[in-house]
Amino acid sequence: MMTKFRLQDHILVPEHILLSEEEAEEVLKTLGIKKEMLPKIRADDPVAKEIGAKPGQIVKIIRKSPTAGKSIAYRLVI
């Protein structure tokens, strides 16, 4: 069997961070929106599975961006 490796180690996979309840609350407050208005990520998405995201939680994604250097996005797990 092939050795299991971390998906996030791949250069094309951006960093995914699972937010705690308080952090999630904070993010929604600063954005001034409801959870459902965020973009979605599926709970069975390979990266979501890797970080153990459960539906209802929020994932923070840090991408490299050609225009801004680093860009931060949030996704609701469904």
Partner 1 sequence: MIPKRIGGIKFEVLSPQEIRRMSAAKIITPETYDDDGYPIESGLMDPKLGVIDPGLRCKTCGGKAGECPGHFGHIELAAPVIHVGYAKLIAKLLNATCKECGRILLKNEKRDEYIEKIENKKRLNQDYEDIIKEVFRVTKSVKVCPHCGAEQIEIKFEKPTSYYEGEHKLTPKDVRERLEKIPDEDLPAFGMDPKAVRPEWMVLTVLPVPPVTVRPSIILETGQRSEDDLTHKLVDIIRINQRFLDNKEGGAPQLILEDLWELLQYHVTTYLDNEVSGIPPARHRSGRPLKTLAQRLKGKEGRFRGSLSGKRVNFSARTVISPDPNISINEVGVPKIVAEELTVPFHVTEKNIEEARELVLRTEHPKANYIIRQDGRRIKVLDTNREELAEKLEPGMIIERQLMDGDIVLFNRQPSLHRMSIMAHYVRVLPYKTFRLNPAVCPPYNADFDGDEMNLHVPQSLEAQAEAKILMSVQEHILSPRFGGPIIGGIHDHISGLYLLTRGEKLFTRKEVMSIIKPLNVSELPKPKYVKDGVEYWTGKQIFSMILPKITIEFKAEICQGCDECKKENCEFDAYVIIKDGELVKGTIDEKAVGAFKGIVIDEIIRKYGKDRAKKFIDDMTQLAIRAIMYTGFSFGISDEDIPEEAVKQIHEVIAEAEKKVEKLIEAYKKGNLEPMPGRSLEETLEMKIMQVLGKARDQAGKIASRFLGMDNSAVIMAVSGARGSMLNLTQMAACIGQQSVRGERIKRGYSYTNRTLPHFKPGDLGAKARGFVKSSYKEGLSPVEYFFHAMGGREGLVDTAVRTSQSGYLQRRLINALQDLKVEYDGTVKEQTSGMLVQFRYGEDGVDPTKSFRGKAVDIKRIIKEVLSEES
* Secondary structure letter of residue 30 according to DSSP: H
Tell which residue, 56, 57, 46, 54, has the closest CA to residue 13.
Answer: 46
Select from 16, 24, 38, 47 the one that contacts partner 1 (CB under 8 A).
Answer: 38
Using CB under 8 A as the binding rule, whether residue 12 contacts partner 1 is answered as: no
User: At a CB cut-off of 8 Å and minimum separation 6, what does 38 contact?
Assistant: 58, 74, 75, 76
Using CB under 8 A as the binding rule, whether residue 62 contacts partner 1 is answered as: no
Q: CB of 4: closest distance to partner 1 in angstroms?
A: 32
Select from 26, 39, 55, 56 the one that contacts partner 1 (CB under 8 A).
Answer: 39
